[in-house]
Amino acid sequence: MTSPSFHPLTIRECRRETADTVSIAFDVPADLADRFRFVQGQYLTLKTRIGDEEVRRSYSICSGAGDGELRVAVKRVDGGLFSTHANQSLAPGAVLEVMTPMGRFHTPIDPAASRTYVAFAAGSGITPVMSILKTVLAQEPKSRFVLVYGNRTVSSIIFREELEDLKNRYIGRLVIHHVLSREPEEAGLLGGRIGAGLVRELCAGPLKAEDIDAAFLCGPQPMVEEVRDALAACGTPPANIHVELFGTTTAARPAAKKAPTDSPTDAATIAVLQDGKRKEFTLPYDGESILEAAHRHGADLPYSCKSGVCCTCRAKVREGKVEMAENYSLEPWEIEAGYVLTCQSRPLTERVVIDFDAA
């Protein structure tokens, strides 16, 4: 398995989507086409220097898998260094370091399937959902898609015109419910916010929770968790509910640990496997995360948010045990299989082997 890697890509287009959101399309050289082939719902990690600081941020791909372009959307957030830079300074011709696509926020496409998809998105949470929605509608002609999309006002709806075009193109297969928290008087639009009450209301109508084949939830953590629990309570199988969080900006640091009582030392030996190479170093039990320590010892490991959200630093524990402080992105099966977020992990045993090449 080839591990994620950065490559310089030139910006082909910067398109204003809303007053505070820009979408960025990249030119992908022919020799990198396979490396940047993506699955709907995946994301890119972008890297650049702003002033004297190296900045990395992950943004979801908003193109459909068959659209023939690689595009992400960046919404400016208050105090956001990269998002402000992207909205104010990036232009066609600029070059960014772009990591090859990652992420598992999707289900396999089956052209012969007849499925019911539902998505609940808020704000910039629409970006991966847009990729999923366009891919499903284009490649599963018997499936239908219901989108519930929350924003403050009509003017803040990202991809508003494109969504309307898709609804007209796929009449009867795409249903869109816009939910506005600050313009409830708009004709034909729902007022309030996306929450358990709205989920119950929708599931009491023509949308039957038990018939949902795949539900995709993307937005702030409180909304995502409330909708997830409400769907499950209404009868959607939990395995059919897929979650991705947006908006976490503060890095959660692993809590300090004491040495195991049977350990003769106060530090563990860590071995990191990447691209067929091995790097070993010692890490105090009460020290930094495995990811931070590995970088300090010269390993160029993939990462982005360092908050347990993006899953870029995912790796498999081959030997020993670790403890994660936070986990907002690994699925239960991945944890069972030994995968961890290295930005949130500290050693619990004298020796730990971490494999970044694991599939």
Q: 22-36: per-residue pLDDT in tens?
A: 999 999 999 999 999
Tell how far CA 331 is from the center of its chain.
13
Question: What distance in Å separates the CA atoms of residue 75 and residue 17, rounded to the nearest whole number?
Answer: 9
* Number of residues in the chain: 359
H helices within the chain, ranges in order?
81-88, 126-139, 160-169, 196-203, 221-234, 290-296, 332-336
Say if residues 138 and 168 touch (Cβ distance below 8 Å): no
Residue 2 has pLDDT above 70, yes or no: no
Q: Is the pLDDT of residue 170 over 60?
A: yes
**Whose CA is closest to 332, among 216, 243, 224?**
243
% of the chain exceeding 70 in pLDDT: 92
Whole-structure pTM value: 0.87
Residue type, 176: I
pLDDT digits (tens, 9 = 90+) for 128-150: 999 999 999 999 999 999 999 99
Q: What is the largest CA-CA distance in the chain?
A: 70
28-37 CB contacts, 8 Å cutoff, 24+ apart: 28/70, 32/7, 35/2, 35/5, 35/7, 35/100, 36/7, 36/9, 36/70, 36/98, 36/100, 36/101, 37/101
Provide the pairing of β-strand 314-319 with 339-341. Answer: antiparallel
- For each of the domains in the chain, give its residue range(s) and CATH number, in order of start: 6-99 (2.40.30.10), 116-245 (3.40.50.80), 267-355 (3.10.20.30)
| Confidence at 251, pLDDT banded by 50, 70, 90 | very low
Res. 252: pLDDT tops 50: no
> Could you tell me the pLDDT band of residue 218, with boundaries at 50, 70 and 90?
very high
Is pLDDT above 70 for 249? Answer: no
Distance CA 254, CA 137 (A): 41
Let me know: does 147 contact 174? Beta carbons within 8 Å.
yes
Start-to-end C-alpha separation, the chain? 6
> What confidence tens digit (pLDDT) does each residue in 273-328 have?
998 999 999 999 988 999 999 999 999 999 988 888 889 999 999 999 999 999 98
Per-residue pLDDT tens digits for 186-213: 555 677 899 999 999 999 988 999 999 9
User: DSSP state, 1?
Assistant: -
